[in-house]
A and B are shown apart, each in its own frame.
Chain A
Amino acid sequence: MAQTAAPGNRPGLKNTWQRLVESWLRRRAPIHPPLQLAYRQIFILPTRFGWMLGLLMGAMLIGSLNFNNNLGLLTTFIVAGLGVNSMLLAFRNLHKLAIRGGMANPVHAGQTAHYQLSLQSTDERPRPSLYVRHEVKRVGIDIDDSSAVSITVPLLTHQRGWHRPGRMRIETTHPLGLFRAWAWFWPDRPYLVWPQPAERPPPLPEGGGGPGGREQRHQVEGEDFYSLRQWREGDPLHRIAWKASQRHQDLLSREFREEQAPELVLTLDRAPARDLESRISIVTAWVLQAEQLDRTWTLQLGSLELGPDHGPPHRKRCLRALAEL
């Protein structure tokens, strides 16, 4: 079963609140990438430092007014002007920023998935100090010109299956750190989390699962010596078996075949554990082990049968099947 769980899987007040916020934002503007940030998506508020400077400005204002000190007032108002411009510049830093894509390579549960987003300034304006915030993590990036840059958001993974990263926030406090402009977005392309491999898995279950094993694909070339045959035109020199040729008064070539490894069939039933999740992690560990040993294996999950095959693509197929289970 594919899961599309949001982070913080508790059906609490917080979740309801987030859903409310999401539906409100959705009514305002698109919230899933690809999107281009516009007026309706961008929010702006002073930062803590901004509030502090505001307070300082208030003190300056009252003092200058009281002393009827016009230069003091002018200083105060210059600070106000800086604030207004800061706000606009922070807004502009996000305005017309395109957010695209969003995907992560699969990782095992417990590892950090790197969710890649592509950001691009659509009007050739440099966009310094952008941050993408997801839950508590924050990653920063600068866009110097109009070329697209990718930003990688680390996601903590807990459960296998398909996940959506949930709410992300792109924000900026450019240029003076007085105002924070931000926009929410929900990347909707899910990412895959493979099951966590068992830490100390039992040894690989040798021997065929099916009746009599399967016919191996005939490998023409291999590492191990297979037989001698008559030399044909085109056989390389180093394949000629000189000693044997001498004995037989004819040129003989050596032929090689790959070793016939015993077949490996992995099923959940063969995993020595009780609950489903532990079995899945054992099988996951087996798949990884088999690939490391360069073995050929078959994965049977109910009616689904993958293989026999070997190599990274097969491993990925198997892991995905295990993740989606």
Chain B
Amino acid sequence: MKLPEQAIPLHTVGWTVAAMLVAALPHLAAMPTGLAVLIVAAAAWRLAAAHYGWRPPPRWLRILLTLGAVALVVFTLGALWGRRTAATLLCVMLAAKMFELFRIRDLRMVASVCFFLIATQFLFNERLFYLVYLATGAMVAVVALIQIQRYEDSTLTGRNTADPDHRSLIRQGAVMVMAALPVALTLFVLFPRLAQPLWGLPEQVMDGRTGLSDSMSPGSIANLFLDDSPAFRAEFDDQPPPPQHRYWRGPVLWHFDGNTWRQSQFASRQPAIPVPADSDTIRYSIQLEPHEQRWLFVLDYPVNAPAEAHISLDYQVVDQRPVTSLKQYEMVSNPDFIDMPELHESLQRQALSLPPERNPRTLDRAQELRERYPDDRELIMAVLRWFNEEEFYYSLETTPTGRHGTDEFLFDLRVGYCEHYASAFAILMRAAGIPTRVVTGYQGGFWQPNGQYLLVRQSDAHAWTEVWLEGSGWTRVDPTSAVAPERIEQGSRSAVGHSRHMLDTEWLRTLRNRYDRFQHLWNRWILGFDAERQQRFLERLGMPDTRPGTIAVIMVVAMAMVIAAITLVVLGRSWRHRDPLLRAWHRLERRLHRTGVRRTGGETPLELLKHAAGIMPDQAAELERLAEHFGKARYGPDPAGHAELFIEHSKAFKPVSPNEPGALNSV
């Protein structure tokens, strides 16, 4: 390997390594700690090498290090091949690159790969906060590139680069990133989007954040209660439904094995019976945060499915692919629909099955109730009354239960939350011969009055039941509402009597709600800007034809216009002085120039003004005064006052060319 004559100075290496570290920061946080430490150590080694003037390690060692690092990644993450592994591998390769970061070409490569690394991170998380990451990362990478360019210059000009002004470098970087925005935003708005992906999306968990899973066992929702992050947002064409009707339907669970409720293969594969739209339908749109699962949350009962999604027999709306980036969809729901007036026999069997030899006390109680209340509706009311009147508590602090969990819950502990109640209620019902299924999803939501949307958080996760009744089909029964009605009326927060953690204060919550409004706008306009929205946006602008081909043409035309505008700004704008006196002087010079008084190369300011006075004898006195003030302000020992006078007078001064008609009037 050929080395440059002098070692690359610390500040050049420093900025490049900084660009790498900033871009890798979220990746480092997500990867196994050992790997992250190795990467940071490699960066530190390179900085120390620049500081102490170490030589690069021999070639065989570098190859060994690279291979070792790759092997480590494969060993650590190999089983979970996916985007995260790929990103980690990229980081590790960059870290290995640290050991051969001794040429301008390598420096540039690392700095530019930083942009790629930044873009990669957005596959995992696209929240508003990451805009700061994008801006910082791009800025530092640009500074690194500027600094590399300067270093390259210094190798040829011999200019000393010993001490760059870092503050001015940062400013330059920030200005360059800002200046890139007009082009970037134009492209962003107008670049044709793909309606179909070119290749499939791998399935992998995003950053450890999950929403509801496709099964329910006691405790599975509890971890969501502590998660205040948004699950989705809903906007309504009219008024939002009242709180007690905000049941957002998710997975529907049929099978119970004693511990866990699961979906039914049959019901979730069969297409739904179409729901007719009538006058009471609710129209709304949803921005679903990515949750790596396939279902979409809707109100009962979905009339239509979004494109690429279908509605199953139990009215789950299931997308073709897991939702890995923000998903927007329009929904229409009809709450008055009667689901399955007739229950098919096989479904009835599924809705009544119970695992054998479990919860004998519950089964006994069900038999007891059945005998006392032959009518299904009365039986249900009795159970709810029981939940309500007896000492049942709604609490997140529950005790693990054994084999007969429901028995323990119903007769001994009597402390639990929606999952426990829904599960226990469903078992009671089935034991009493009423077909029952468990529905999970979200309940409630926070109405943002300013933003006119409903924010549903992960902590709004909920589970309830549906019982099949003669005449009214599947009917929603929420046993939790019997125990803790305020959970349904006012949302999950009120149900848990006390603050869940120290920071959960009122103002903090207000702050979070405010922030969420920005996040909402962000989601709506930036993340949710897809092919469809782009089309609508262009239509609103009055473009009649919005096929991708046309959009491409529009984009090319718009880009040409934007670049022309930037060119005008870049080339047309004269060098702007920071000194207000010089700014005023240049303005005066331009005005004189327009009237035909041109400054020659070596003309001094005072000579120019004298020259102008010769051409415009009417204004000679004014010009002379300007000359005096400028001379004293710029060259005098005591400029105070004269600069202001010059600026003031020069602003007021309007040169009039003697051969313009205006000159005659002014005489």
Contacts and interface: CB of A to CB of B under 8 A. Distances in A.
Q: Do chains A and B touch in the complex (CB under 8 A)?
A: yes
Contact of B108 (A49, A73, A76, A131): A49
Contact of B179 (A57, A62, A68, A81): A81
Contacts of B149: 129, 173-177
Given A78-B177, A78-B184, A129-B153, A68 B108 contact: no
Interface in A165-183: 173-177
A70 B527 contact: yes
B552 to A, nearest CB: 13
B142 to A, nearest CB: 7
B289 to A, nearest CB: 14
Contacts of B126: 69-71
Contacts of A80: 180, 183-184, 187
Specify which of A67, A78, A125, A177 lies most central, judged by the most chain B CB atoms within 10 Å of its CB.
A78
A306 interface: no
Given A82-B176, A84-B566, A74 B526 contact: yes
Interface stretch (A88-96, A205-213, A243-251): A88-96
A70 B188 contact: yes
B182 interface: yes
A73 B188 contact: yes
B91 to A, nearest CB: 16
A74 B112 CA distance: 16
Contact of A68 (B172, B185, B325): B325
Contacts of A176: 142, 145-146, 149, 176
A56 B112 contact: yes
B571 interface: yes
A74 B184 contact: yes
A64 interface: yes
Contacts of B134: 71, 74-75, 78
Specify which of A79, A89, A175 lies most central, judged by the most chain B CB atoms within 10 Å of its CB.
A79
A59 B194 contact: no
Specify which of B108, B142, B148, B159 lies most central, judged by the most chain A CB atoms within 10 Å of its CB.
B108
B197 A88 contact: no
B122 A69 contact: yes
Contacts of A71: 119, 122, 126, 130-131, 134, 526-527
Given A78-B180, A124-B575, A56 B122 contact: no
Interface residues of B, number: 62
A60 B115 contact: yes
Nearest to A70: B527
A85 interface: yes
A177 B108 contact: yes
B118 A75 contact: yes
A75 B152 CA distance: 26
B290 to A, nearest CB: 10
Contact of B153 (A53, A62, A79, A128): A128
A60 to B, nearest CB: 5
B193 interface: yes
Given A69-B325, A71-B134, A140-B157, A63 B119 contact: yes
B157 A72 contact: no
Given A74-B188, A88-B570, A141 B526 contact: no
Given A72-B120, A76-B115, A142-B157, 12 more contacts: A60-B119, A64-B119, A65-B193, A69-B123, A79-B115, A81-B181, A82-B142, A84-B183, A89-B570, A95-B571, A139-B156, A177-B149
Interface of B: 105, 108-109, 112-113, 115-116, 118-120, 122-123, 126, 130-131, 134, 138, 142, 145-146, 148-150, 152-153, 156-159, 172, 176-177, 179-185, 187-188, 191, 193-194, 197-199, 201, 324-325, 526-530, 563, 566-567, 570-571, 574-575
Interface of A: 49, 52-53, 56-57, 59-60, 62-82, 84-85, 88-89, 91-92, 95, 123-125, 128-129, 131, 138-142, 173-177
